[in-house]
Amino acid sequence: MKKKTILSLYPWLNSYYNKIINQFQNEKNYTAYIFYSLNELGITSLIYELIKWIFCINKQKIYSCSICDNCILVNKNIHPDLYIIKNNTKQVSIGVDYIRNLINKIYQTSYTNVGKIIWFPNLKQLNIFSNNALLKVLEEPPKNTYFFLQCKSKNELLPTIYSRCQFWNIVPPNEKISISWLKKNLQNNLIFKKKSIKSALRICNYSPINTLYLLNNSIWKNRNIFYGVLISAFKIDIMNLLSILDNKNILFYLDWIYLILLDVCKLHLKINLKFFYNLDQIFIIYKIFDLIFIDKIILMIKKIFFYKKILIKINTINHKLVIINLLLSLEEIYKS
Ligand SMILES: [Zn+2]
């Protein structure tokens, strides 16, 4: 069997894989695992590899064979003892009946006698009733059944569920590892300066995967134009921003404004430039610094948060009106 890195696509996950598999090898494993990460870090791939190893009937040390029936069925995502519990409609939660049916099924014998795996890729989809049903199973789990739960916020977790699982906080790799990974994976990597890659990584909350997506997207190429419009909006007419903000990328752009304002705050506070988010936009940061005092910037950031929350929480709201309100309140602050 060829011994290669298991998670070659997302190498920062290998240490997690090794530690968890080690528990299984030493029979010190848990029944239920929670994988928590704020960022997109490829956890789905980690879970697939763990599942493959657990199900593989021909595993050697930490490696699954990839060619046995079980490995093939997991790869094709059709293993009969793997239950992936999710609702494809984001807003609809998973009901208690669904969980009860699932519980009945998992008490029946398994297909290959290697156990069963129940995987919740998005715990947020459980409501209070289905959460309680899940808790009941975790309190008395059926033999040879493992639970993998994924969440992006600790608020999505019932403390009682948390206390019955092993909790894994998956953190992004350090900047150096992320940058070298990005350089390897970027199309036309030579056109990107290190400062630009670093800025994108910081803007993406250190998720190399999201950074890769952003750098390959046309939105990144237009970033300089965006900041140019931002300066003209502050100098001449705030409504210059309306046409840019009034589209599906609104939340994205609000984050960009927020992060550059945060850098302006850092400049006012004389924080070393190396700690800035937008390392490649120092010129723009100085321009805004010359235009707006720190106390006003803080008020503007608060307004951006307020209106961003409205846009996230109320689906049916008229986006354009919210943006106009936001822009007018920003203007009111910096012109006062
Ligand atoms: Zn196998």
pLDDT digits (tens, 9 = 90+) for 70-121: 999 999 999 999 999 988 776 678 888 888 888 888 877 666 677 899 999 9
Residues 79 and 134 both lie in one domain: yes
Ligand 1 center to residue 71 CA distance, Å?
4
Question: Which domain, by its residues, includes 205?
Answer: 175-218
The verdict on 20 and 114 lying in the same domain is yes
Instruction: List Cβ<8 Å contacts ≥24 apart for 71-79.
Output: 74/48, 79/51, 79/55, 79/111
Round to whole Å and give the CA distance between 276 and 283. Answer: 12
Which CATH number covers residue 295? 1.20.272.10
Residues 32 and 145 reside in one and the same domain: yes
Quote the ligand 1 centre to 40 CA distance (angstroms). Answer: 27
Instruction: Please tell me whether residues 41 and 71 are part of one structural domain.
Output: yes
Provide the pLDDT for residue 100. 87
Question: In whole angstroms, what is the distance from residue 250 CA to residue 323 CA?
Answer: 9
Q: How far apart are CA 300 and CA 233, in angstroms?
A: 14
Please indicate, yes or no, whether residues 52 and 189 belong to a single structural domain of this protein. Answer: no
Same domain, 208 and 258: no
pTM: 0.89
Same domain, 60 and 99: yes
Q: Tell how far the Cα of 54 is from the centroid of ligand 1, in angstroms.
A: 9
Is residue 5 domain-resident?
Answer: no
Listed residues 151, 169, 187: the one ending a domain = 169
Residue 266 domain-assigned?
Answer: yes
53 Cα–ligand 1 center, Å: 7
108 domain residue, yes or no: yes
Residues 16 and 151 occupy one common structural domain: yes
DSSP 91: T
263 within domain boundaries: yes
Position 110 scores a pLDDT of 63
* Ligand 1 centroid to residue 57 C-alpha, Å: 5
Least Cα distance to 131 among 104, 155, 109 occurs for: 155
CB atoms within 10 A of CB 47: 22
Claim to verify: residue 191 and residue 82 sit in the same structural domain: no
Number of domains in the chain: 3
Contacts of 164 by beta carbon, 8 Å cutoff, 6+ apart: 31, 32, 135, 138, 139
Taking the centre of ligand 1 as the mean of its atom positions, its distance from the CA of residue 185, in whole angstroms, is 29
Distance 330 CA to ligand 1 centre (A): 59
Q: Of the residues 218, 247, 278, which one is the last residue of a structural domain?
A: 218
Please check whether residues 196 and 274 belong to one and the same domain: no
Give pLDDT tens digits for 295-317: 999 999 999 999 999 999 888 88
Is position 303 within any domain?
yes
Looking at the structure, tell me whether residues 23 and 150 fall in a common domain: yes
Q: Are residues 160 and 189 in the same domain?
A: no
